[in-house]
Structure 1
Amino acid sequence: MSEAEMDPSSSSVLATWPGAVLDKGGAGDPTHAKAPTPSVAVPLHHGDPAGEQWALEAGRGLVDRSDLGIVRVDGPDRQRWLTSLTSQVIEGMGPADSRELLILDPQGHVEHAAAVVDDGASTWLVTEGFAAPALAAWLDSMRFMLRVEVAVDESMVVLGTVGAASLEGVVGAAGHASTWADPWPGVVPGGTEYHQGPHPAAGVEVFLHLVHRDSARALAEAWLGGADKRRFAGLLAWEAIRIACWRPRLGYEVDSRTVPAEVDWLRTAVHTHKGCYRGQESVARILNLGRPPRRLVMLQLDGSRGDLPEVGAAIERSGRRIGTLTSVARHADMGPIALALLARNVPGDLVLDLGGIAAAQELIIPIDGRAAASPAERPGAELREGALRRPDVRAFGGASGMGAR
């Protein structure tokens, strides 16, 4: 996508803010050369990525997320319809609710992921900007005779903040439409967790604010001047927080093979007790049996060399590919960190070599791939060996009829 096609001055809220350095794909951030090209050029940083991260964490930062897309669903059947198509229960949502959904293919691979809010009249799905047109098109193809309407909503943009203190001056301000409170890392009703223990995202409150495009710049400027030490932050700071929180992102931790269990997405985006939806059989099978093909890990990178590996880089062991680097950031406190998808059976204590950069694993998904809701024993275990044989019938072999012949 060319700079002309992006046209950041007309699409991105803070693209023209003095000092903003824009994300135009690999050229803007070399560590993201193989990551999806942004649909809109948003600020990577405003001159101080570390300071911007600290401001975000303190509730004093605001990020332009105009790169995200919004799909609007209208009509009286919208919530029931979305529940029938997706991994989450949307029916019954009110204006104060925030949920997350996945759309899977028949084999259970993730095709779409979206944050969900509903104001009582419309349901908004917030997803990656590059994915919004395809999401809207697929949903539109599934309307049949139901009373729903689907469209990409170009009248809205997204701003991001972290921490409850950041809400003042956004929620209820002129132009504000709705706010999504990220449920991560909590386990929502019907969900389950693969990582069972202390979670680095505990206590981190992340918000996406849907704002009318024609009011967004004025709202952002008013927010900036509404309290001391507030500042605009860039996507690098936002991503550093996301990666440290182990939060999967469409287009990064998701490829054509990703299933929800591999990235711990059953916490927030899957209701394991709801009715049938496409891909449900795969979700249930992995939940019952464990052993997803891959597992998400956090990587602590050796920062002595100064550079960072590229997103999409292959991870190899003895000449064999065992994984892929999915996200990378320079965290203000932790130094260089990353997320990666590894083959399930890669030893958890193996130090990885990323093009000469050593990377130590921090386990997210257990190697056996079992969740809190997984049965203690594999279903059918009680039927193994002789449990199915009639007591008056000998086993084959030995002195049995066939074995003695």
Structure 2
Amino acid sequence: MLSAVPVAALDPADPDAGAVAHYGDPAREQRVLDTAAGLVDRSHTGIIAIPGADRLGWLHSLTTQHLTDLAPMTGSELLVLSPHGHVEHHAVLTDDGTTTWLDTADAAGLLQFLERMRFLMRVEPADVTEDWALLSIAGPQTDEALISLGVGPMLPPDLLPVPEAKFASSSVPPRATAIYAVAALPRGGWVRRMPYGADLLVPRATVPELTEDLGLPLVGIWAFEAMRVAAVRPRAGFETDHKTLPAEVGWTAPAVHLEKGCYRGQETIARVHHLGRPPRKLVLIHLDGIATDELPARHTPVLVEGNERPVGFVGTAVRHYELGMIALAVVKQNLTAASVLRVGPSTAAVDTELTPGA
């Protein structure tokens, strides 16, 4: 019997306190995700359901994504921005033809925003986290796992390329920039094909039976996060702060339609894209692990050796089973890969092979 170690037992204040950290061997669990497929319980993630005939047009007007013609049984991603273009919320969505489901890090905050923006629209947003759970299948054998459920293989994610700066009008098709295939599950709920595998949005009461049906190794959130960091994928609240722009962390491709008008923060998005260089960038860094084997806390400052003025901050730091101590960091755009960095007592360096554009 696997021994589950809850995150809450290690750090009750951790944002993942509702998840399992690991099942006894985090390195083995990472290897499973890297070479096969595992099941990750992410049911601590917030879920918002939005039924109503106006839901897609309403979300289209409020967010960065093009959603007016989103087909039923399709998923995508979206951002809610501040008036100055800074990221306030990120969500991955599933639309089943009658309801749009959003999984997000801050369900309460996003729901509060949506409630304020309802006006006379035919929408009924509600937090349904108590009744619905998010699970993830991750790893190269995801399709085999989906076949065992009777819903695979599924079409891979369809992402539009990001146009060059000062692109010609009508260069971006009028559709969601990221389209994720969705299928109904036999026991209820849906599966959404993702770049890392697949997400399962299911009634909480069906989780034990679904887990048994899949027969996959159970994997803790630590291993899932380690794979995310190695893949340089941002996470809201970790690789973001109060002034994060979508282009800084790589969210333009999956979540921002650059020719869709009339949403909050649009002017900043357009200006940053056409200038071609956001103020900061997301990078993967290696920590030397000599001065300390403790991982740096989220939002620890990143310094250049010999200079006490921060050039960025650490988002997520993990122990990777092959790469050692690594972290995602948001740093100034002009920081070069040759810079010797310091994070707390540790020396650090940017990984130029795994970081896009470093």
Aligned-residue offset at 1:92:
2.1
Aligned equivalents of 1:142, 1:364: Cα separation in 2: 43
Question: Aligned partner of 1:257: which letter?
Answer: K
Aligned equivalents of 2:109, 2:331: Cα separation in 1: 28
Counterparts in 2 of 1:365 and 1:293: CA distance versus 1, 3 Å: farther
Correspondence for 1:151: 126
Identity of aligned residues (%): 39
Aligned partners of 1:61 and 1:166 also within 8 Å: no
Question: Aligned partner of 2:132: which letter?
Answer: M
Match of 2:78 among 101, 115, 139: 101
The higher radius of gyration belongs to 1
Correspondence for 1:23: 7
Aligned-residue offset at 1:56:
2.1
Correspondence for 1:386: none
Cα distance per residue 1:27-48 (max 9 Å; x no partner): 27xxxxxxx7337521010011
Give the secondary-structure state (helix, strand or coil) at the position aligned to 2:255. coil
Correspondence for 2:108: 133
Aligned equivalents of 2:353, 2:254: Cα separation in 1: 15
Gapped regions of structure 2 (runs ≥ 5): 152-184
Cα distance per residue 1:327-369 (max 9 Å; x no partner): 1111112222110011222233102112232211135999999
Question: Aligned partner of 1:20: which letter?
Answer: A
Aligned equivalents of 2:243, 2:122: Cα separation in 1: 33
Aligned equivalents of 2:76, 2:122: Cα separation in 1: 22
Correspondence for 1:319: 308
Q: Which moved more, 1:213-222 or 1:70-79?
A: 213-222
Aligned length: 318
Aligned partners of 2:231 and 2:354 also within 8 Å: no
Give the secondary-structure state (helix, strand or coil) at the position aligned to 1:72. strand
Aligned partners of 1:291 and 1:368 also within 8 Å: no
Aligned equivalents of 1:170, 1:107: Cα separation in 2: 44
Matched, 1:46 2:33: no
Correspondence for 1:389: none
Cα distance per residue 1:167-225 (max 9 Å; x no partner): 24456554341122235xxxxxxxxxxxxxxxxxxxxx33211011111122112322x
Match of 2:264 among 268, 278, 281: 278
Match of 1:166 among 145, 148, 159: 145
Aligned equivalents of 1:39, 1:66: Cα separation in 2: 10
Cα distance per residue 1:281-322 (max 9 Å; x no partner): 000000011332221111022234533222221122311111
Counterparts in 2 of 1:110 and 1:170: CA distance versus 1, 3 Å: farther
Aligned partners of 2:7 and 2:16 also within 8 Å: no
CA-atom RMSD in angstroms: 2.4
Correspondence for 2:277: 291
Aligned equivalents of 1:367, 1:234: Cα separation in 2: 27
Aligned partners of 2:135 and 2:199 also within 8 Å: yes
Aligned partners of 2:6 and 2:17 also within 8 Å: no
Gapped regions of structure 1 (runs ≥ 5): 1-16, 29-35, 184-204, 225-229, 370-405
Aligned partners of 1:25 and 1:37 also within 8 Å: no
Match of 2:34 among 29, 34, 57: 57
Of Structure 1 and Structure 2, which has the larger fraction of its residues in strand?
2
Correspondence for 2:161: none
Correspondence for 2:162: none
Aligned partners of 2:131 and 2:203 also within 8 Å: yes
Structural mapping, 1:82-97, within 5 Å: 82-97=59-74
Structural mapping, 1:183-262, within 5 Å: 183=195, 205-224=196-215, 230-262=216-248
Aligned equivalents of 2:344, 2:15: Cα separation in 1: 26
TM-score (structure 1 length as normaliser): 0.73
